[in-house]
Amino acid sequence: MGTARVQLQDFDAAAEARALQAGRADVGALVTFVGCCRGEGGRVAALEIEHYPGMAEAEIARVVAAAEARWPLIGVTVIHRYGTLAPGAQIVLVAVAAAHRREAFAAAEMLMDRLKTEAPFWKRARLRDGSAEPWVASEAGDGGGDEA
């Protein structure tokens, strides 16, 4: 069973990856993805991220379970932050352990794609000029957004 967390505090991607691999000699591939807040050429002062508590965690857990049902994964960790984040701050971690790289890469990509379109998060950029962009919810077909 994978791990799904929504938290205010930052995360240590390397420590999370080590935890997935610890004591597991069958891990042949460990794929990690960290999405970060972009500064958009200095235009963005901060990114505000809100979520629906309880529902966000449940939706992430559902997406993790779907990946585990589709591929023979050894471990999965997904962490998504909320709050006000400065450019360069980590927003999301997807870490996948599997016996083989193809499964690990495919699962990590699917997890990130589905998080961006299905998890109930709302984002808006606070601009350096003091204004704010409108709140944006993730939605089907979302090819952009505020993280990598």
Paired tokens of 118 = 């299905």
Buried b (16+ CB within 10 A) or exposed e, 27-50: bebbbbbbbbbbbeeeebbbbbbe
Res 104 pLDDT > 90: yes
Query: Which residues does residue 92 pair with via DSSP β-bridges, in sequence order?
Result: 35, 80
H-helix segments, 9-141: 13-21, 55-70, 101-118
How many Å from the N-terminal Cα to the C-terminal Cα in the chain?
26
CA-to-CA distance for 136 and 110, rounded, in angstroms? 21
Q: pLDDT digit string (tens) for 18-53?
A: 999 999 999 999 999 999 999 999 999 999 999 989
3-136: what fold? Aldehyde Oxidoreductase; domain 3 (3.90.1170)
- Please state whether beta strands 121-127 and 90-98 pair in parallel, antiparallel, or not at all (unpaired): unpaired
Q: pLDDT digit string (tens) for 55-98?
A: 999 999 999 999 999 999 999 999 999 999 999 999 999 999 99
Res 140 pLDDT > 60: no
Question: Residue for token digits 């972009």?
Answer: 38
The predicted structure's pLDDT at residue 145:
41
Question: Residue for token digits 């966000």?
Answer: 56
